[in-house]
Amino acid sequence: MHERNARNRNGRPMPRARRLQVLTELLGGRRFSSQEELARALARGGETVTQATLSRDLRILGVGKRPGPDGRAAYELPAAPGETLDRQRQLLDLKVFVNGVRVARNLMVVRTPPGHANGVARAVDMMDFAGVVGSVAGDDTVLVVMEDESSARRFKRHLEGLADAARGVK
């Protein structure tokens, strides 16, 4: 019954599994504040759906409308509880345990308290910051390899901004 409400470019019914996959990819790639926006994005990709089918698909995926960093509500896929806690932990590691950052061309040396370099390195690797190639951790030092010097300087400013925010520095 639901398949009649969703069709691809050829006018054929789109399988639900494919439709859910496309929705997941769209929601993972950008923010949508209304079902109309989402339906238009699907249509641009050649997948037309009715509002009822889209609403049902969003429910199946567990999608909810939540405020984003800008305060504007948008549809989001649910995050696993462990994943949410892990992201919070990573941000905490970056805010609290970065004592200093030095840049040498495309390399960064991040100093941490003893025993915290591994957590900071993992947080660096998981944050998907543009230009980060990877990191290596010791006990109190993290070596971060960047694509180039300008991305290293941008990332240094980002890490220092997180640390300053945690200390209440403006």
Residue 74 CB neighbour total at 10 angstroms = 18
DSSP 87-98: HHHHHHHHHHS-
Unique residue bearing structure tokens 């308290």: 113
Domain range list for the chain: 2-76, 81-167
| pTM of structure | 0.52
State the pLDDT at residue 161: 87
Question: pLDDT band for position 2 (50/70/90)?
Answer: very low
Q: How high is the mean pLDDT of the chain? A: 83
Dihedral of the alpha carbons of 102, 108, 112, 117, in degrees to the nearest 10: -170
Q: Decide yes or no: CATH 2.40.50.140 for domain 2-76.
A: no
State the pLDDT at residue 134: 93
Q: How many helices (H) and strands (E) does the chain have?
A: 6, 8
Going by the DSSP 8-state scheme, the letter that residue 104 receives in this structure is E
CA 11 to CA 160: how far, in whole Å?
53
CATH topology of domain 81-167: Gyrase A; domain 2 (3.30.1360)
State the pLDDT at residue 29: 81
Question: pLDDT band for position 61 (50/70/90)?
Answer: confident
Structure tokens, 2? 């639901």
**Cα angle vertex 28, ends 24, 33, to 5°?**
95
